[in-house]
């Protein structure tokens, strides 16, 4: 993580506009077709949540804005992405767990299994530190949610992706997904391009 001058980036105007805003977060919701993703999960034995996290990392890594993040009153740049997931602990609580993103899906799956198992056994969060721009996720799979609007804490400006229980139809499976981001980090064209790219990744994923 390193501080950069916003004036040297495409986010200069957004930095001036939104860093002083009392509510700089934006939430968008899109319903996805995850039929192919569920088939991949069934065929491979992979967890659907792992595949969702991997797809989010793949889509985000195509956009340079995901490597920028407002932290305090500064704009920071990162070289790596990580996906954070919520893990149920063996004691009945929850832990957060950072998983480093790599396009190698087998390596990502291995890291996901190892780190989430460690988080389940531990009373401490698995935090990769300041080297990673972290995308938060939460899977609330006990309820069919239409949308989630997260609170604005003022200190956690990271993008956040939330979904509930998927919906099985006769021929396809759908899933509404909510995406929250800080307006300093990206504008509408980039955020909607990310959401569109996410559907493409859902359709393309294979584990060979």
CATH number at residue 67: 3.30.559.10
Give the three-class secondary structure for 141.
Answer: coil
Quote the pLDDT of residue 179: 98
Which residues form the domain of 18?
2-204
Distance CA 78, CA 80 (A): 6
By the 8 A CB rule, do 177 and 192 touch? no
68 forms beta bridges with 77
Instruction: Spell out the alpha helix ranges (H) of the chain.
Output: 12-18, 35-44, 48-60, 105-121, 188-204
- What pairing do the DSSP bridges indicate for beta strands 173-182 and 167-168? antiparallel
With a CB cutoff of 8 Å and minimum separation 6, the contacts of 20 are none
Distance CA 85, CA 33 (A): 21
Quote the pLDDT of residue 152: 83
Give the pLDDT of the chain (208 residues) as one tens digit per residue: 899 999 999 999 999 999 988 899 999 999 999 999 999 999 999 999 999 999 999 999 999 999 999 998 999 999 999 999 999 999 889 999 999 999 999 999 999 999 999 999 987 899 998 999 999 999 999 999 999 998 888 788 999 999 999 999 999 999 999 999 999 999 999 999 999 999 999 999 999 8
Query: CA separation (Å) from 84 to 10, 74, 75, 167, 194?
Result: 26, 22, 21, 24, 18
Residue 154, phi-psi category: left (phi > 0), alpha (psi -120 to 50), beta (remainder): left
Closest by Cα among 168, 103, 98 to 133 = 98
Tokens 């790596």, located at residue: 80
Closest by Cα among 198, 171, 180 to 31 = 198
Domain count, the chain: 1
Distance CA 28, CA 195 (A): 9
Quote the pLDDT of residue 208: 83
């Amino acid at each position: 993580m390193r501080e950069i001058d916003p004036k040297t980036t495409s986010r200069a105007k957004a930095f001036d506009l939104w860093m002083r805003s009392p509510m700089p977060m934006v939430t968008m919701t899109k319903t996805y077709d995850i039929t192919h993703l569920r088939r991949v999960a069934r065929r491979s034995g992979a967890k659907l949540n792992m595949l969702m996290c991997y797809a989010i990392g793949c889509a985000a890594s195509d956009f340079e804005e995901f490597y920028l993040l407002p932290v305090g009153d500064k704009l920071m740049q990162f070289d790596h992405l990580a996906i954070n997931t919520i893990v149920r602990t063996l004691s009945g609580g929850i832990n957060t767990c950072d998983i480093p993103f790599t396009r190698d899906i087998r390596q990502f799956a291995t890291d996901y299994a190892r780190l989430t198992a460690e988080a389940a056994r531990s009373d401490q969060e698995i935090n990769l530190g300041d080297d990673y721009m972290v995308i938060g996720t939460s899977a609330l799979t006990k309820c069919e949610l239409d949308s989630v609007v997260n609170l604005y804490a003022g200190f956690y400006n990271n993008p956040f992706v939330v979904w509930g229980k998927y919906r099985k139809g006769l021929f396809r499976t759908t899933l509404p997904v909510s995406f929250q981001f800080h307006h300093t980090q990206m504008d509408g064209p980039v955020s909607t391009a990310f959401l569109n790219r996410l559907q493409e990744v859902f359709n393309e994923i294979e584990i060979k």
